[in-house]
Structure 1
Amino acid sequence: MTSRTLYLIACAAPPARRLTIPIRAAQRAGWEVCLLLTPDAYRWAAEDAEGNLAELQALTGHPVRHSYKLPSEPDLLPEPDALLVAPLTSNSLNKWASGISDTLALGLLTEGIGRGLPIVALPHWNNAQGRHPAVRRSVAELRAAGVTVLLADEHGGDGGDGFAPHEPRRGNLDAYPWELALAALPDA
Structure 2
Amino acid sequence: MSATRPVLYLFGSAAPPVLDVAHVVRQAQDRGWDVALGLTPTAASWLQAELPELERLTGYPVKSAYRRPGDPDVLPPADAVLFAPGTMNSINSLALGITTSWVIGYAAEAIGKGIPLTVMPCTNTALTGHPQFLRSVTTLRDAGVRVLLGEGGFVPNIPGQGKPEAYPWEAALAAAGESVRR
TM-score, length-scaled by structure 1: 0.91
Q: Is 2:27 the partner of 1:25?
A: yes
Matches within 5 A, 1:54-69: 54-69=52-67
Q: Is 2:170 the partner of 1:182?
A: no
Partner of 2:120: 122
**Residues 101-153 of structure 1: per-residue CA shift (max 9 Å, x gap):** 1110110010000000111111101110010000110001100101110000x
Partner of 2:133: 135
Q: In the aligned structure 2, how far is the partner of 1:23 from the partner of 1:3?
A: 14
Q: 1:46 aligns with which of 29, 45, 48?
A: 48
Q: In the aligned structure 1, how far is the partner of 2:102 from the partner of 2:132?
A: 22
Q: 1:171 aligns with which of 146, 155, 162?
A: 162
Partner of 2:153: 162
**Any idea what SS the aligned residue of 2:115 has?**
coil
Deviation at residue 2 of structure 1 after TM alignment: 3.3
**Any idea what SS the aligned residue of 1:87 has?**
strand
Q: Is 2:71 the partner of 1:73?
A: yes
Alpha-carbon contact 2:79-2:180 (below 8 Å) kept: no
Deviation at residue 3 of structure 1 after TM alignment: 1.5
> Which residue type is aligned with residue 179 of structure 1?
E
- The list of structure 1 runs, each at least 4 consecutive aligned residues, that deviate by more than 2 angstroms after superposition, is none
Q: In the aligned structure 2, how far is the partner of 1:145 from the partner of 1:137?
A: 12
Q: In the aligned structure 1, how far is the partner of 2:101 from the partner of 2:72?
A: 18
Partner of 1:155: none
> Which residue type is aligned with residue 95 of structure 1?
S
Q: In the aligned structure 1, how far is the partner of 2:14 from the partner of 2:143?
A: 24
**Any idea what SS the aligned residue of 2:156 has?**
coil
> Which residue type is aligned with residue 134 of structure 1?
Q
Gaps of 5+ in 2: none
> Which residue type is aligned with residue 170 of structure 2?
E
The CA RMSD measured in Å over matched residues stands at 1.3
**Any idea what SS the aligned residue of 1:33 has?**
strand
Give the structure with the larger helix fraction. Answer: 2
**Residues 53-88 of structure 1: per-residue CA shift (max 9 Å, x gap):** 222111101110100011111111101010000000
Matches within 5 A, 1:84-123: 84-123=82-121
